[in-house]
């Protein structure tokens, strides 16, 4: 089984998955798990700057089409042979509304080409972006009651 996720997903610390990098670069913070390797065919080399989202998706899909299903499947095989579900990792938190990344583009492309679904690995952690958006919407003059959730 293959999933996609972000490096910060705490489920990866369980040791139940084979973590595989598909991002440009590796996180500089401690992950709490090992990255087993990378798949260069899925890394968006040269596509991260100077393109709109639509242009990026078109160029990335074009690259995936050039590599093809067989080459990508062969790149996945050594990781699948380890015997644990493989998780293809990059940085973005796609739980935030409107947020996409190349891993979701890859998962969609893969399903179109093979019929095989690659799901996002469940991530139970809180999203820092959701907290920021909520804070931005709070009116400045609202006071929260010390005795419950009511507004004074």
Q: Rounded to an integer, what distance in angstroms lies between the CA atom of residue 29 and that of residue 8?
A: 10
Alpha carbon 14 to its chain's center? 18
pTM of the model: 0.81
Q: Flag whether pLDDT at 88 surpasses 80.
A: yes
pLDDT digits (tens, 9 = 90+) for 99-146: 778 999 999 999 999 999 999 999 988 766 544 443 444 444 333 323
pLDDT tier for residue 11 given thresholds of 50, 70 and 90: very high
Of 9, 2, 1, 5, give the one whose Cα is nearest residue 103.
5
Question: What's the pLDDT score for residue 96?
Answer: 77
Query: What pLDDT does 113 receive?
Result: 97
Q: At what angle do helices 102-114 and 53-80 cross, to 10 degrees?
A: 70
Say what percent of the chain tops pLDDT 70: 83
Give residue 127's pLDDT.
67
Q: Which residue has the higher pLDDT, 145 or 2?
A: 2
* Of 95, 115, 102, 120, the residue nearest 3 (C-alpha): 120
């Amino acid at each position: 089984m293959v999933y996609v996720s972000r490096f910060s997903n705490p489920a990866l610390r369980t040791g139940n998955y084979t973590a595989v990098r598909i991002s440009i670069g590796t996180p500089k913070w401690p992950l709490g798990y090992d990255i087993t390797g990378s798949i260069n065919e899925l890394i968006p080399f040269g596509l991260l700057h100077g393109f709109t989202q639509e242009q990026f998706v078109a160029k990335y899909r074009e690259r995936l089409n050039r590599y093809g299903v067989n080459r990508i499947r062969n790149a996945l095989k050594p990781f699948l042979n380890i015997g644990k579900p493989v998780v293809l990792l990059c940085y973005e938190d796609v739980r935030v509304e409107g947020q996409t990344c190349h891993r979701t583009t890859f998962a969609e492309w893969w399903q179109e080409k093979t019929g095989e679904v690659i799901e996002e690995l469940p991530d139970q952690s809180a999203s820092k972006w959701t907290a920021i958006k909520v804070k931005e919407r709070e009116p400045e003059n609202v006071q929260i009651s010390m005795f419950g959730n009511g507004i004074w």
